Chains A and B, each alone.
Chain A
Amino acid sequence: MANCLRRFGRLGLISKAKNGKRELYSTTSVSPASGDNTSSTKSINLFTAVNQALHIALDSDPRSYVFGEDVGFGGVFRCTTGLADRFGKQRVFNTPLCEQGIVGFAIGLAAMDNRAIAEIQFVDYIYPAFDQAGDIPIVNEAAKFRYRSGNQFNCGGLTIRAPYGAVGHGGHYHSQSPEAFFCHVPGIKVVIPRSPRQAKGLLLSCIRDPNPVVFFEPKWLYRLAVEEVPENDYMLPLSEAEVIREGSDITLVGWGAQLSIMAEACVEAEKDGISCELIDLRTLLPWDKETVEASVKKTGRLLISHEAPVTGGFGAEISASIVERCFLRLEAPVARVCGLDTPFPLVFEPFYMPTKNKILDAIKATVSY
């Protein structure tokens, strides 16, 4: 029941967005790759936006490939629908069920000057590709490929896509948010979109970026988040955060699906006369400290919220960095509203999650500190 309520909560927010409240999905900088600024838009969901980006990536670069488990028939989340039919089974294909194999293969393919777009079916299954018996393709291979060869070789054409995060019924192995692990690895970029428009533009940037990127897609929003998305080829900048709601009393920083919960808390806080500024970090590594710093210097307060467990989460990194830069401007301790330090639980998911009211309480406590 609680799960249902929560899901309706998200749906409600997204409906509001469709009804003209644009603050969550506003886009400040759409830079068309083609230079065509007059492209029409269409109302689509997040998996369709990902699908469009993959179509464009395959269409615009004959050396691009899309592969992973069950990718051939369209993927379990439908992100790769129609790609194999259009571009052929040599460029869009199923792989054996082996995450370390997928990523190892993708690194080799990328190292031969191709764009290798690998799908890990759930980010919960990325760990074998992260660390399996001493073989660490993402951490030890992809991330160090350029550096260790003195730039003689690189696998910059590599993009690893994976659905992440809570979905209401995913339990331990279909709900995790492992972004902090990857943010500890120099040499890769970590990008998480919050909406369909963002997903398409950021994914195309990731695919074309000359560095290996992990791109985590908020699976809860695959169908729920619907937004007007330009039909053309456009890219959104990496390592640039976006202020999606301006305010003067407190800065809230988040990414991905959590932003919709934070946006609701901002709306509630406003009723109590608290003006919240909400920032979507978008790229977690390397991240845009300057935008967060400028905001906190203005508001004097910072709250970070993510689904991942609080201890060692990326919120800790943001907190430390901002305290370093804004110590004398801070009027309250930095607040973190995050997942609990437990495995992601099934029945207890509503208790585990950094919910709207947890955020709202933290906003109030921070502002009245």
Chain B
Amino acid sequence: MFQSVDFPGGRVAFTSEMSFIAESSEKRVKCYRVLDDNGHPMSSRFEQVSKEVAVKMYSSMVTLQIMDTIFYEAQRQGRLSFYLTSNGEEAINIASAAALSPDDVVLPQYREPGVLIWRGFTMQEFANQCFGNKADYGKGRQMPIHYGSNKHNYFTVSSPIATQLPQAVGAAYSVKMDRRDACVVTYFGDGGSSEGDFHASLNFAAVMEAPVVFICRNNGWAISTPTSEQFRSDGIVVKGQAYGVRSIRVDGNDALAVYGAIHAAREMAIREQRPILVEALTYRVGHHSTSDDSTKYRPADEIQRWKISRNPLARFRKWIERNGWLNDEDESELRDNVRKQLLHAIQVAERTEKPPLEDLFTDVYDHLPSNLQEQEKLLRDTIEKHPQDYPAGVPV
């Protein structure tokens, strides 16, 4: 008799036809793209980028690429303990940062140093963190690449996967309560979407109506685990709807598409006070980190294909070159400059002394509790007795 009933949560209509919702739609969700493989706009309708911004985007992508190359080499030479590149994901890094305002608060995972480059974190600041010297804002406490900068609204990187996601929702709720003209942006990978924190955060963000943009870098690999062994859904983008979160899939190797998608996502997040999920499809061209050799689990020609013919810098360069905004001379000057800056930064960072011993004990709490005072004193006595046991570089 009843056509529908108002169950908790709203009225639901009945049907006499028994049908299960399919586990996936017949066609995969399409991927938003602006530039084709040759750097030609596929349509004239896209978020326009000025010459100044476009050139800065390209320069920043080149900077990120060179930084990765030089730091990676420094690690191979044994000068750094660890490194992790963003190779192949330069467009996601830089174009997403370019589409944001500096007031937008970023909670990164660890493959987004390009956001800091865009915001003005210097090569020296990167090098100081990687070498863990006394100028490192993190006071030498974390492994290389765990950058953080209060003045750039960029929270300090934490190694555990996806923990930043629910925190981003809490931060966004604060931005909402303060009625700020800003949003919170958080990054994660395809592997991170399997963590409970991912699901918790999407659900919380929807319920709390938090202005947060979730950016998934779906690069196909969680260390050695391919997405086929990570999930059986059509990637990440489809997970938004189940939580009531608006979502888009974008070509992560197309800087203009990323820029446009993040620009629109930010607008909606702030204007409508809602979360947005962006899945950027890309490929992790580098190894997971310097502790990994990815040729052990994926074909070398696959890596090469993405590195050469699907390179995000190359595609964007074709577009700005065609616009007459950059020539070969500009580019080689840019590359020379960045390389010089970096080599200098590394030399300085290497020479700069380590943080003092007291930094081992501070910042556990706002003040040093008595147990730590006691332990510091004991340690200093031991150092005096056995100085040969301790690295000379740390001032005691």
Listed in ascending order, the chain A residues whose CB lies under 8 Å from chain B are 90, 95-96, 98, 100-101, 103-114, 116, 128, 132-137, 140-141, 144, 146-154, 156, 186-187, 189, 210-211, 239, 286, 289-290
Contact = CB atoms under 8 A, between A and B. Distances in A.
Contact of A96 (B156, B177, B203): B203
Nearest to B137: A150
Contact of A109 (B150, B171, B197): B171
Interface in B119-161: 136-139, 141-142, 146, 148-150, 155-156, 158, 160-161
Interface of B: 105, 107, 136-139, 141-142, 146, 148-150, 155-156, 158, 160-163, 165-175, 177, 184, 195-197, 200-201, 203-204, 207-208, 359, 362-366, 369-372
B366 A104 contact: no
Given A141-B160, A286-B365, A101 B138 contact: no
Contacts of A98: 196, 200, 203-204
B150 A104 contact: no
A104 B365 contact: no
B141 A148 contact: yes
B195 A146 contact: no
B200 A136 contact: no
Nearest to A146: B363
Contacts of A132: 196-197
Contacts of A101: 166, 169, 197, 200-201, 203-204
A90 B177 contact: yes
A144 B200 contact: no
B200 to A, nearest CB: 3
B177 A136 contact: no
Nearest to B150: A152
Given A100-B196, A108-B174, A111-B155, 9 more contacts: A101-B166, A105-B167, A108-B167, A132-B197, A149-B156, A150-B148, A152-B148, A211-B365, A239-B369
B137 A152 contact: yes
Candidate in B105, B149, B204 with the most chain A CB atoms within 10 angstroms: B204
Contacts of A146: 363-366
Contacts of A108: 107, 166-174, 184
Contact of A150 (B168, B169, B363): B363
Per CB-CB distance, the 8 closest pairs between chain A and chain B, nearest first, are: A104-B166, A108-B170, A101-B200, A108-B167, A112-B174, A286-B369, A109-B170, A149-B156
A4 B323 CA distance: 84
B174 A105 contact: no
A147 B167 contact: no
25 contacts: A100-B166, A101-B200, A104-B163, A104-B201, A105-B167, A106-B170, A107-B167, A108-B169, A111-B167, A134-B161, A135-B162, A140-B160, A141-B160, A147-B141, A147-B364, A148-B148, A148-B156, A149-B156, A150-B156, A151-B363, A152-B150, A153-B156, A211-B366, A286-B369, A290-B370
A50 B139 CA distance: 39
Nearest to A99: B200
Contacts of B156: 148-150, 152-153
Contacts of A289: 370-371
Contacts of A100: 166, 196-197, 200
A141 B158 contact: yes
Contact of B204 (A105, A136, A153, A187): A105
A271 to B, nearest CB: 37
B369 A134 contact: no
B196 A133 contact: yes
Contacts of B359: 150
Contacts of B138: 148-150, 152
A96 B141 contact: no
Nearest to A62: B177
Contact of A140 (B105, B163, B171): B163
A148 B197 contact: no
A142 to B, nearest CB: 10
Nearest to B156: A149
B239 to A, nearest CB: 15
Contacts of A148: 138, 141-142, 146, 148, 156, 158
A326 to B, nearest CB: 15
B167 A141 contact: yes
A211 B47 CA distance: 44
B272 to A, nearest CB: 17
A303 B316 CA distance: 72
Contacts of B365: 146, 187, 189, 211, 286
B376 to A, nearest CB: 13
A211 B371 CA distance: 16
B181 to A, nearest CB: 15
A286 B141 contact: no
A313 to B, nearest CB: 18
A149 B370 contact: no
B174 A114 contact: yes
A106 B168 CA distance: 10
Given A104-B165, A141-B163, A150 B139 contact: yes
Nearest to A103: B166
B171 A104 contact: no
Contacts of B107: 108
Candidate in A90, A147, A290 with the most chain B CB atoms within 10 angstroms: A147
Nearest to A116: B170
Nearest to A105: B170
A150 B148 CA distance: 9
Nearest to A134: B160
A151 B137 CA distance: 8
B369 A109 contact: no
Nearest to A118: B170
A179 to B, nearest CB: 17
A135 B196 contact: yes
Nearest to B184: A108
A88 to B, nearest CB: 11
A304 to B, nearest CB: 18
Contacts of B163: 104, 135-137, 140-141
Contact of A153 (B139, B155, B197): B155
Contacts of B363: 146-147, 150-151
A187 B362 CA distance: 10
Contacts of B369: 239, 286
B160 A136 contact: yes
A344 B342 CA distance: 59
